[in-house]
Structure 1
């Protein structure tokens, strides 16, 4: 299956962001799924109030979500897109990933459950965490798991996805730049792929305060695609034969002894 990873620079204009989504998708060929980063819908100004952000956040029938659905249907492609989504706890919002089918229908949604309260940031001041495990979704015969950005630091989530039968882990992200942050991202991405013998496919924000480094890593921890320092999309292929061969040589999931891993 062909997957495109869109490295995207969000702006404060939803209309401009939707137009960029359309342009990126229109350039793709032979791709089944395109993944856009966390917060693709909006670059929230640093001084925005929580109340204003809630007002701007998406919901299932928001204009932005309808626009993405229309683009997906026009091009016959699945779309995973990270957005701010209104929660039921005003004025906090969710960091959510909408999964839209090639027919333009909303197929699934995941709300980030582990928030970035670290390194001087406190997402929980304005984000509400989700309370569900990583999303599992089937796309054209492939099983995909979904987590978001900071959740890459929690190996339990990726292992849940692998044990749920995933071929690949999809990770929309807005990874901040900073000392050693780029190296951390690459290390985490490779580790999550290698320890679970599955693909890890990341789509990251670029520019503003974000690091970029949208990458695809195969089940043996080999980086098979990497974006440049610019906006655009890189393509990778998820190959179930490659997964089978790696798992035959490196049967990590079969060799687990979960009875030894109980916390006391």
Structure 2
């Protein structure tokens, strides 16, 4: 499966951001991409650095203007396209939603982000209601896609449930970066932990992983912090966690990677983790904390 990823630095000009994405999508499709994955909330800046009710004006219904725009691109270039949008479901109810388009421009499915962070500069609970569509893969002409979003990538349960429902690949549109007051060593520990945990999901489930992150500095509108330096480092890992590609941490990247989905079958034969799961002793996983 020839897969394109677009790691982009966004500005306040949403139309320009979307046009640059369109140009890169066209370039990757021309080079043979069958599947293209975009970063989290790719139309504009990462607005969750502050709690501001005016930011809800950026939300859209699905279907809506952005699904029309990206659906046309998917149809024009005959690709499967994974996007990430700020969904307005109704007044006062909003989601961080990934929308997947089929080659004909139709919506193949969507996933609403399940795990919602609430940390300094990542005030997502102010904006997003936790998803209610479950961990269900989306069937497309290139395969069954286990699409999750950003903070979901730290949770092995989410990856496992996608795998148990038949996902053939795990996909994570992402927006994560450095806290400016952290030391350089701490920043690198965080970036490497982020990569390592997702490579672990690949190994534990015998599936490829595609992760596409933002890149570049985005200022804090409130000026209470020094903003976020998104660490890029978008990557694709194979079903043994092997890195097939990793983007720079400080540059825009538009890359085509060939993923062999057939390898998962063989890897799962060597390492039959699903066979050996002790499902008769996992009841405590449904508890917040398993006290004696």
TM-score range, shorter chain: over 0.9
Q: 1:48 to 1:15 in 2, by over 3 A?
A: farther
Q: TM-score, normalised by structure 1?
A: 0.92
5+ residue gaps, structure 1, are none
**Aligned residue in 2 for 1:250:** 271
Q: Calculate the aligned-residue CA RMSD, in Å.
A: 1.9
Contact 2:137 2:145 (C-alpha < 8 Å) held by counterparts: yes
**Aligned pairs for 1:1-264 within 5 A:** 1-28=1-28, 29-45=31-47, 46=49, 49-50=52-53, 52-90=54-92, 93-118=94-119, 121-178=122-179, 179=187, 180-208=189-217, 209=228, 210-228=230-248, 229-263=250-284
Is the CA contact (8 Å cut-off) linking 2:8 and 2:252 kept in structure 1?
A: yes
TM-score (norm: length of structure 2): 0.84
Deviation at 1:123, TM superposition (A): 1.6
SS in 2 for 1:27: helix
Alpha-carbon distance, 1:190 to partner: 0.8
Q: Which runs of 5+ in 2 are unaligned?
A: 180-186, 218-227, 285-289
Number of aligned residue pairs:
262
The alpha-carbon deviation at position 120 of structure 1 amounts to 6.8
Name the CA distance, whole Å, in 2 between partners of 1:206 and 1:240.
Answer: 28
1:234 match: secondary structure: strand
In 2, Cα distance between equivalents of 1:133 and 1:199: 21
Structure 1 residues 130-139 or 99-108, which shifts more? 130-139
Q: Distance in 1 between matches of 2:89 and 2:62?
A: 12
Q: Distance in 2 between matches of 1:201 and 1:256?
A: 25
For 1:208-261, what per-residue CA distance to the aligned partner results, in whole angstroms no more than 9, with x for missing partners? 221111100111110111112311222223323211121111111111111121
